[in-house]
């Protein structure tokens, strides 16, 4: 018996290993990480780690957990190829592992920009703890930072470094921040608050090229011809799923590795979960690839059950959070298809929520510093309950009462 091999020890891979044991799997279990240290939480990297010289990685599980659960965690080991017929993984530098079932939890990586000057020292992106250490070390030495991309990670980094005393400019190609992710009124709010906190924000602007001296970045030149001084440039323009292994095995690929409602790829015995998985979401009916801790965790739990022969389909409610300066953004549901919104709370007070409806169905709640709405939202969407606008406007207690 060769057992289960999990490729990638991020949020998805570690949860899958834990869930296999929780669900009663007793056979050999190998968890392969191409990183050099204990698996850790990614969200704090952009929110706190990079500005705190004392911060240490927050590990997902204590070291003793892996041995205790008989999980063979292999560090600094990269899987290079999968032979789906022989059910074998080939490791970089030689060696191979046979499997009865394999879970691809390889995550995603920052999208690179084909930009002149992109290879200069000081041009960085953030995905791993190693990346975060590089950003932290350099930011201690520089004053001016340009962040390319006004998405969640770019804005979190911008706010964190700005709080840490850096002069930060965010450059976003679209006409608003978080354009792919949130309602326009949230974009407006986030922009205003970040600007008030001293961050400069340029929208509908791209970077033409980066200029350097002695191999180190010195400035970013915008499409409008402005030269912005920057000894550090952070590229935060989204991620691409790590699908190469799956491709080498001939698995069906879309926007990520195609999986069904039980996380099974097109090849029997191989599953995919987390940032790299592309699937039809029960909630919206559309094809998605979600990049969130919730998605990674819940898919991992389900993949473990699938391997153990259970037949339940993925039914988790999607949710996400992001801390940008003094704004805790929380989203539950998916807003695609929204045709009506109800706003509660006080925008000026930095506390409000937007309830999105498609017809009479509540499909998404976006909250800024209103965690109670978010938590209720998870319950409501999980139960398929859609409150009417009156109830929403009556406030949290009315919602609670309606849900009870
Ligand atoms: P990952 O966590 O990326 O893990 C994949 C692992 O597989 C990596 O260690 C990778 O090195 C390894 N790997 C890849 N290929 C191979 C190979 N061939 N062989 C061996 N190992 C391999 N989500 C939220 O919900 N809220 C947040 O606030 C939030 N903040 C974030 C902040 C930052 C800075 C980042 C980078 C992400 C954030 N996310 C957040 C997203 C969240 O972290 C991801 O959705 C989650 O990590 C996905 O888990 P995963 O296991 O699929 O991928």
Exposed, middle or buried, 386 (CB in 10 Å: 0-12/13-18/19+)? middle
Residue 1 confidence (pLDDT) above 90: no
Q: Are residues 91 and 124 in the same domain?
A: no
Block residue for tokens 């190469």: 244
127: in domain: yes
The number of folded domains in the chain is 3
Per-residue pLDDT, 305: 98
Helices 11-22 and 293-307 cross at an angle (nearest 10°) of 40
Q: Are residues 217 and 71 in the same domain?
A: no
Q: Which domain holds residue 160?
A: 112-237
pLDDT in tens, 90-123: 999 999 999 999 999 999 999 999 999 999 999 9
Q: Are residues 142 and 218 in the same domain?
A: yes
Residue 342's pLDDT band, with cuts at 50, 70 and 90, is very high
| Residue 7, ligand 1, Cβ within 6 A | yes
320: in domain: no
Mean pLDDT over 239-251 rounds to: 96
| Residue 318, ligand 1, Cβ within 6 A | no
Block residue for tokens 């011809």: 225
- The DSSP symbol for 314 reads P
220: in domain: yes
315: in domain: no
Per-residue pLDDT, 346: 95
C-alpha Rg value of the chain to the nearest Å: 22
Closest ligand 1 atom, CA of 15? Answer: 51
pLDDT in tens, 179-194: 988 999 999 999 999 9
Q: Are residues 23 and 94 in the same domain?
A: yes
| Residue 126, ligand 1, Cβ within 6 A | yes
Model pTM score: 0.97
Residue 387's pLDDT band, with cuts at 50, 70 and 90, is very high
CA-based nearest residue to 324, from 184, 201, 235, 194 = 194
Of 183, 214, 237, at which residue does a domain stop?
Answer: 237
| Residue 9, ligand 1, Cβ within 6 A | yes
389: in domain: yes
d(CA 15, CA 51): 28
Quickly count helices (H) and strands (E) in the chain: 11, 27
313: in domain: no
Of 208, 237, 266, at which residue does a domain stop?
Answer: 237
Could you report the predicted ipTM of this complex, rounded to two decimals? Answer: 0.99
Nearest CA to ligand 1 atom 24: 292
| Residue 241, ligand 1, Cβ within 6 A | no
| Residue 234, ligand 1, Cβ within 6 A | no
Closest ligand 1 atom, CA of 39? Answer: 9
CATH code, domain with 14: 3.50.50.60
Nearest CA to ligand 1 atom 7: 8
pLDDT in tens, 14-41: 999 999 999 999 999 999 999 999 999 9
Q: Are residues 185 and 218 in the same domain?
A: yes
Closest ligand 1 atom, CA of 78? Answer: 19
pLDDT in tens, 279-292: 999 999 999 999 99
Q: Are residues 291 and 147 in the same domain?
A: no
Closest ligand 1 atom, CA of 44? Answer: 32
Per-residue pLDDT, 404: 87
pLDDT in tens, 349-369: 999 999 999 999 999 999 999
**DSSP letters spanning 41-104:** -SHHHHHTGGG-TT----BSS-HHHHHHTT-EEE-S--EEEEETTTTEEEETTS-EEE-SEEEE
45 Cα–ligand 1 center, Å: 11
| Residue 321, ligand 1, Cβ within 6 A | yes
Share above pLDDT 90 across residues of the chain, in percent, rounded to a whole number: 97
Mean pLDDT over 127-136 rounds to: 98
Per-residue pLDDT, 199: 98
């Amino acid at each position: 018996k060769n057992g289960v091999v999990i490729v990638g020890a991020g949020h998805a891979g570690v949860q899958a290993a834990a869930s296999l044991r929780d669900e009663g799997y007793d056979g050999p279990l190998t968890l392969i990480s191409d990183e050099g240290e204990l698996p850790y939480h990614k969200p704090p990297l952009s929110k706190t780690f990079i500005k705190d010289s004392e911060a240490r990685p927050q590990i997902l599980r204590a070291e003793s957990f892996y041995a205790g659960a008989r999980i063979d965690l292999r560090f600094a080991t990269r899987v290079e190829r999968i032979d789906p017929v022989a059910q074998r993984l080939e490791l970089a530098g030689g060696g191979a592992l046979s499997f009865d079932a394999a879970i691809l939890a390889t995550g995603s990586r920052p999208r690179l920009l084909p930009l002149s000057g992109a290879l200069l020292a000081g041009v960085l992106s953030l995905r791993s703890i190693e990346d975060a250490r590089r950003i932290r070390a350099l930011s201690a030495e520089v004053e001016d930072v340009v962040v390319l991309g006004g998405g969640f990670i770019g804005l979190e980094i911008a706010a964190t470094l700005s709080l840490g005393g850096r002069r930060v400019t965010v450059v976003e190609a679209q006409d608003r921040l978080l354009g792919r992710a949130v309602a326009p009124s949230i974009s407006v709010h986030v922009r205003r608050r970040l600007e008030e906190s001293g961050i400069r924000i340029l929208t509908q602007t791209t970077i033409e090229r980066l200029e350097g001296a002695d191999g180190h970045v010195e400035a970013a030149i915008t499409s409008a011809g402005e030269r912005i001084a920057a000894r550090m440039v952070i590229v935060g323009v989204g991620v691409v799923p790590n699908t190469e292994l799956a491709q080498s095995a001939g698995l069906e690929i879309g926007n990520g590795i195609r999986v069904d409602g039980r996380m099974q790829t097109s090849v029997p015995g191989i599953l995919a979960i987390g940032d790299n998985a592309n699937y039809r979401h029960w909630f919206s009916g559309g094809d998605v690839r979600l990049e969130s801790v919730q998605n990674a965790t819940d898919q991992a739990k389900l993949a473990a059950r699938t391997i153990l022969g259970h037949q339940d389909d993925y039914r988790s409610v999607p949710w996400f959070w992001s801390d940008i300066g003094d704004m805790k953004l929380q989203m539950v549901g998916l807003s695609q298809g929204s045709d009506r919104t109800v706003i509660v709370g006080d925008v000026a007070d930095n506390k409000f929520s937007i309830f999105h409806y498609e017809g009479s169905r509540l499909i998404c709640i976006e909250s800024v510093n209103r965690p109670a709405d978010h938590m209720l939202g998870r319950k409501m969407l999980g139960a398929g309950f859609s409150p009417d606008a009156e109830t929403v406007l009556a406030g949290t207690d009315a919602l609670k009462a309606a849900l009870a």
